[in-house]
Amino acid sequence: MGRFVEGADRSQLTLLPECLEDWVSEDNTVHVIDVFVEALDLHGLGFERVIAKQTGRPSYHPAVLLKLYIFGYLNRVQSSRRLEREACRNIEVMWLIGRLAPDHKTIADFRKDNGAAIRKVCAKFIALCRQMGLLQTPSVAIDGSKFKAVNNRDRNFTHAKMARRMLDRADMALSIRRQCMLLGIARSGVYRPPRPANDNDLALMRRLDELFTAWPFLGSRRMTAMLKTEGLRSIASACSG
């Protein structure tokens, strides 16, 4: 290799194994996650299986899965399968959860069964940041949140809606095609105006909004299954399609 930097031999054995602590710097965020989760009262927050059963196969402690979940949220790793892979190859995750390797179903079930408790943990974290002076009073942080508004489709106007209202069907000098071309809108929106949503559609959309707000990590298949169990088969078929 000449004067190039050479790596270590993969088959080289070491007498004293390297400590995992040496691979994680002191300013790494996993230290914050570890201290924060260890200070929480998981049973009081509503996490399930905090107290282990005397019989059956031992399960993962909720603190371990919560640390993994928070790590994935901070590093934009939301998929349970990707978190499973990170637990086996990421040194920071190995340090955080003690080299445990939960499978993707265990991670997904933890998020599904402890959604309300996880939201309480987020509120605890915000309160901690305020006590430490990391958040100021006039600051507002919005990250993937959905807020309901009083403005509906009939009360808001876009450029296309205003342009359609400017059309004059009685004008004999300019055809509808020519007017649409001048206004920059499609003729399909003029010949086939959008159908207003009925009460049933609005109820279904509200239910979808509630489910997505409560479980934002659900995919289309899980959402379809939940809607079918509630009897909303019309919109469930639309989601699966």
pLDDT confidence of residue 142:
63
pLDDT confidence of residue 21:
86
Query: What phi and psi values does residue 94 have, to the nearest 5 degrees?
Result: -60, -45
CA angle 159/162/163 to nearest 5° reads 85
Q: What is the pTM of this model?
A: 0.54
Query: Residues 34, 84, 239, 154: is their CA dihedral positive or negative?
Result: positive
Cα–Cα nearest to 95, from 198, 21, 179: 21
Q: What is the pLDDT of residues 19-73, one digit of tens each?
A: 888 888 888 989 999 999 999 999 999 998 888 888 888 889 999 999 999 999 8
DSSP state, 19?
A: P
pLDDT confidence of residue 54:
83
Kindly give the parts of the chain with pLDDT less than 50: 236
